Amino acid sequence: MAKIKFTIITLFKEALKPYPDVSMMWKAAEKGIAEFDFVNLRDFGLGPHKSVDDTPYGGGDGMLLRCEPVFAAIESVKAKDPFAEVILPTPAGRLWTQNYARELAGDTQQSHYIILCPHYEGYDERILTLVDHKISLGHYVLTGGELPALIIIDSVVRLLPGVLGGETSAQIESFSDETNSEIEFPQYTKPADFRGMKVPDVLLSGNHGEIAKWREAQKRPAED
């Protein structure tokens, strides 16, 4: 098996599937570092309409994901890999950060994550009994878990050894502190002079010690 596997349980596989098929995610899969699998939640739906949601007890707007299809979908994956851990993207979860991504990427005990993508207005609370990681992508509300799933996968997979060219990009980031307050220094590529905007001389000097010092001094905090 690949170093890390993500099984994504979703109603919208068509929306998700193209992303891991390109660029770095594709490269990681080609190299056998990452594996992506999709489970259609609809396959576990109830009745002739394969229903996966229903109205909330006690009243209220919207529809909630029901337990039966979600439990059945997760159990079908766990039947093959009982140790897979379940991630639920939810605005009520732990905030996703670079350090959190490093935790998952560096967890040598765990190699298979099931990401359950909720939709509609939410999910039956009992679904949480299946969940190992509740993850929030930020203090805003999205319509579903698909975009968070892609962000989680991308930010973990790029940290795995062998995914990024030369290994250096992820290493550079390892200098960043707990809060990720200093993650970038300015970078330039050719041409050295573009419409009068010149690349700093030090970067053209070939003096690697000076370049490292300059980059350290230039690190800037993320904008709020």
Q: Residue 16 or residue 164: which is nearer to ligand ADE going by CB?
A: 16
Question: Which residue's Cβ lies closest to ligand ADE?
Answer: 89
Give least dist CB 167 to ligand ADE, A.
30
What are the C-alpha distances in Å from 184 to residues 180, 194, 209? 10, 21, 18
Q: Residue 20 or residue 148: which is nearer to ligand ADE going by CB?
A: 148
Give least dist CB 151 to ligand ADE, A.
9
Q: Residue 136 or residue 218: which is nearer to ligand ADE going by CB?
A: 136
Q: Provide the pairing of β-strand 64-65 with 122-123.
A: parallel
**Tokens linked to 18:** 């193209």
Give least dist CB 66 to ligand ADE, A.
18
Burial 5-15 (b: 16+ CB within 10 A, else e): bbbbbbbbbee
Give least dist CB 59 to ligand ADE, A.
22
Q: Residue 3 or residue 66: which is nearer to ligand ADE going by CB?
A: 66
> Residues interacting with ligand ADE, by CB under 6 A?
89-91, 136-138, 140-142, 145, 148
Burial 137-167 (b: 16+ CB within 10 A, else e): beeeeeebbbbbbbbbbbbbbbbbeebbeee
**Contact by Cβ (8 Å): 106, 72:** no
What are the C-alpha distances in Å from 140 to residues 56, 84, 143, 214? 22, 28, 10, 37
The whole-angstrom separation of Cα 71 and Cα 219 is: 47
Give least dist CB 88 to ligand ADE, A.
8
Q: Residue 84 or residue 135: which is nearer to ligand ADE going by CB?
A: 135
